[in-house]
Structure 1
């Protein structure tokens, strides 16, 4: 199917993995589409892919989609069509936006932690969540030197800590500032913005040491309005 996707998710994997995971919203239908198998970082770079970019191609939902990852689509003939405006980018993020993390993934009010049970019935693996700008903070991981995490409070007042940052552009930007000891500069800047939206995604199912087998929430995208840090987001 011929589609124009506005890229909303551009995420990294662990070091030494040569691939990236991208996803976007079909502006005409509102569907979220994830090209799969994953693109290599070099191919994404060649195409000029970044959040806010408009990617044109043929995308067909794969027949063997599993779990919540119902966005998986085969793809062909990819090419960069252009870049969206900031208002259009914000509009597509709001197509599936929630004020609370739990309802974004059909979880009960009593659910705790980032893990979504493997048996949980869910028809999507990515959602936008509106959060309090004053609460957003990039922090150093207390267990792994050099790693950073995200703390935030959603609009219903629920606080979440230790979210992995898989947003490739933001992660690299924050890591550069971490090296210079300036995470406070990033946090103060984000907290000064009028709106912050996160793209929360679910990993493929896996079982960390001492944890249950689950789909794990992660911060696929960290987007601020009206401004964005330079070099992270593409828009006209």
Structure 2
């Protein structure tokens, strides 16, 4: 395994105790996902918590035959993970902005299916990537059927209304914040709603929602509009 210095761009909620952690290798500019073994919340707690913007040192090897679209997957040694510093917001914004896509379709290709909730899915085994930075406008947090979602418009003029917001810190904050227990959506909106922002977007592992088609579903994993204060 090779030791990398990685700025974390995505720390997202998965099922159960599992967490998805991904970032940009500062030496190569390549996006990497710490997928094997799967990180957990307990592991994060052991490192004092990990958040987007943290720079970590870790030993990592890309998967030899990753399955599209999750080409960022790789093996990592959790015993070597060390949090080195926090990248300033302006530096992170500039780094991601240089690699930002204009539209969702430019990043992931044309979607294959649409769920009953209006979200879009892509076929397993296809695509060049499963994580990307997107330049977006009219970014707005919404709540639909108790699910926190993000509505936004991409540079092609397409408005996306149903992608869930999976940032771990945002999703779990009400457990430790009295204000968020009753005002979660207003607090999320105050922090992340923006006329213009960089979005981190991703595609889930393939699954079929109840009563719907299977696919790798669009999600928003981070919103880089301004430095975080509440979350």
Classify the TM-score, shorter chain. 0.7 to 0.9
Q: SS where residue 96 of structure 1 aligns?
A: coil
CA offset at residue 173 of structure 1? 4.3
Q: TM-score under structure 2 normalisation?
A: 0.84
The verdict on how the C-alpha distance between 1:103 and 1:39 changes in structure 2, with shifts beyond 3 A counting, is: same
Q: Which residue in the other structure is 1:183 paired with?
A: 185
CA distance 1:218–1:63, shift in 2 (3 Å): same
CA distance in 2, matches of 1:114, 1:126: 15
Say if 1:79 and 1:61 are closer, same or farther in 2 by CA, change over 3 A: same
1:158 alignment counterpart? 158
Q: Conserved in 2, the CA contact under 8 Å of 1:170 and 1:222?
A: no
Counterpart residue number, 2:110: 107
Aligned to 1:167: 167
Aligned residues: 220
Q: Which runs of 4+ in 1 moved over 4 A?
A: 110-113, 173-178
Q: Does 1:92 align with 2:95?
A: yes
1:187-230 deviations in Å (ceiling 9; x for gaps):
35544x564111111111112233322111111112213x3233
| 1:75 equivalent in structure 2 | 76
1:124 aligns with 2:129: yes
Deviation string, structure 1 residues 174-199 (Cα, Å, up to 9, x no partner): 786663246345435544x5641111
Of 134, 138, 141, 1:138 maps to: 141
Q: Unmatched 5+ residue regions in structure 2?
A: none
Contact 1:102 1:111 in 2 (8 A): no
The answer to whether 1:215 aligns with 2:216 is yes
Q: How far is the alpha carbon of 1:131 from its aligned partner?
A: 1.0
Indicate if the aligned counterparts of 1:27 and 1:92 stay in contact, CA closer than 8 A: no
Secondary structure of the corresponding residue to residue 180 of structure 1: helix
- 3-state SS of 1:136 partner: strand
Counterpart for residue 27 of structure 2: 28
Distance (Å, rounded) in 2 between the aligned partners of 1:174 and 1:114: 28
Q: What do residues 135-181 of structure 1 show as CA deviations (whole Å, max 9, x unaligned)?
A: 2222221xx3x332221112332111121111111233478666324
For 1:84 and 1:66, the matched residues in 2 are separated by 31
Q: Distance in 2 between matches of 1:59 and 1:94?
A: 25
Contact 2:147 2:164 in 1 (8 A): no
* Alignment check: 8 A CA contact 2:165 2:221 kept: yes
Change beyond 3 A, Cα 1:38–1:182: closer
Q: What is the TM-score with the length of structure 1 in the denominator?
A: 0.83
